[in-house]
Amino acid sequence: MPKLHRLVEGQFLPTALDLNPALKQTGTSLLTRAKGKTVRQSSGLLACSIFLLVNIAGLVTYNQSQAHNFWHSPNVTEACLTGNFDTKKCLKDWTLFMWALQNGFERTLDARRNRLTNVNDPDVYMFGSSLMIFPLWFADHGDNLPDSAYYNLRSEALEKKCAQAGKIFNVSLALMSASDASRVVDRYFDGVHRPKVLVYGVGPRDFYDAFVSSPSASVYFNQLSNFDDYTKNASNYFPSADTEAMSIGKRMYFMYDKHQDLLSFGKTLIKELAHKNPPSTVEPLTNMGPKRNLDEYKGHYKNISAKAFDQQMGFLKELLQTCSKRNIHVILVGMPLTTENRALLPAHVHEAFTQKLSTLAIANGQKFVDFNGSEFHTSDFLDSAHLNAAGAHKLIDRLAPIIDAEMKDVRTQSVTR
């Protein structure tokens, strides 16, 4: 006999489900599905919550690791001072683990920035991309660079050549664009860290790179940008609203931004723990040839855009204006390139580039020198763009008297005030 469930006018009556087994089965099935849907929704919310918490923890740790005290983690402090770290220590040090997820360019900037906090009242900063990095390294160490060269901040060979300059620091960053340089100067070259003279060496790639779709796509943008770059200055960095939204998303969702680093770091850690990650073979830096990396530079210069070029020139103008306001003397240097490298650009483009550098420097009361002449020969180059030890010494021989003259002007102006 079916169960009685409802009381109608004092009498119990069977429900429709009891009278119709098929309907009852359907109701049971719907109830089961509803419960399953609730469980799935709860599980989804739980997973999202966990993901959000992990993301927030990662983002906070990542941002805190860039502060000067680095949460007082000795391992992170050591890593930031040298740009290097022990992978296995990451298992025991969460802040070091998060710092290790930053790519090499970000770590380089961290190391430079951290070391510069201890530099007060500097005389000269040598600034630029790898076009400036390599000559200063080779001038100090010769063609066979030791590992320690990577961590050098002082430019000792140039200091010895200069009679007027005191402390000279190499604060260059590989692949730095003009937009990156402008942000570095604006944020870090001020107060007690303001140099008297800034020697900024540039080449065409610093103003146009086909591999970098916009100023916001540079390797240093995330670390150097601030709120204004996403609001009133957004048009300078983002070609479209979609690009800006994606950049904001990467900043908000740390794990999405660093997913490639997570995978790479995990694989490296597993190999090291399994002792299956032997040291890579170090190739000698000598005899690389002036035509080496020409294909790379063909890629950099591909479909060169006057609009993109002019946009980066706008950032150079900002840099020069900032330096003028802060009484920083700038020596803008057109860095030497091989004839083969210069031939990758149409002659009129290279001429316009050089003329624009000169015009901007003069308009802002600064100095421009161009080393793309007959003085540097093929034998002075490591590859198609970077000077070797012989070329490096030739460069500092040319730079030293120019820096001395500028330092003399600095001292003269300080006396007359």
310/399 same-domain check: yes
Contact 205, 129 (CB under 8 A): yes
Cβ density class 260-296: b for 16+ within 10 Å, e for less = eeeeebeeebeeeeeeeeeeeeeeebeebebebbbee
> What whole-number distance in Å separates Cα of residue 223 and Cα of residue 255?
16
173/36 same-domain check: no
> What whole-number distance in Å separates Cα of residue 163 and Cα of residue 328?
19
Per-residue model confidence as pLDDT tens digits over 171-189: 898 889 999 999 999 988 9
Residue 220 pLDDT level (bands cut at 50, 70, 90): confident
Contacts made by residues 184-187, CB under 8 angstroms, sequence distance 24+: 184/127, 184/220, 184/224, 185/319, 185/322, 185/323, 185/328, 186/318, 186/319, 186/322, 187/224
52/174 same-domain check: no
In a domain, 92, yes or no: no
Q: What's the pLDDT score for residue 135?
A: 93
Reference 396, options 113, 165, 136; nearest CA is 136
Q: What's the pLDDT score for residue 1?
A: 45
Nearby residues of 118 by Cβ (< 8 Å), 6 or more positions away: none
Q: Which two tokens stand for residue 250?
A: 């990467």
Residue in this structure with the two tokens 């001429």, named with its chain if needed: 351
Residue 192 CA neighbour count, 13 Å, CB half: 5
58/182 same-domain check: no
31/125 same-domain check: no
Domain containing 194: what range?
120-239+289-416
- Residue 250 phi, psi dihedral angles, 5° rounding: -65, -35
Q: What's the pLDDT score for residue 306?
A: 87
Q: Which two tokens stand for residue 345?
A: 């650009």
Per-residue model confidence as pLDDT tens digits over 3-55: 444 444 445 445 554 555 655 565 566 556 655 566 566 777 777 777 677 66
In a domain, 274, yes or no: no
310/177 same-domain check: yes
218/365 same-domain check: yes
127/37 same-domain check: no
In a domain, 405, yes or no: yes
Query: What's the whole-model pTM score?
Result: 0.72
**CATH code of the domain containing 170:** 3.40.50.1110
> What whole-number distance in Å separates Cα of residue 272 and Cα of residue 259?
20
Domain count, the chain: 2
Contact 61, 98 (CB under 8 A): yes
Residue 144 pLDDT level (bands cut at 50, 70, 90): confident
Selected residue with higher pLDDT from 348 and 32 = 348
Contacts made by residues 393-398, CB under 8 angstroms, sequence distance 24+: 393/139, 393/157, 395/135, 395/139, 395/336, 395/371, 396/135, 396/136, 396/139, 396/157, 396/158, 396/161, 397/161, 398/371
Contact 381, 290 (CB under 8 A): yes
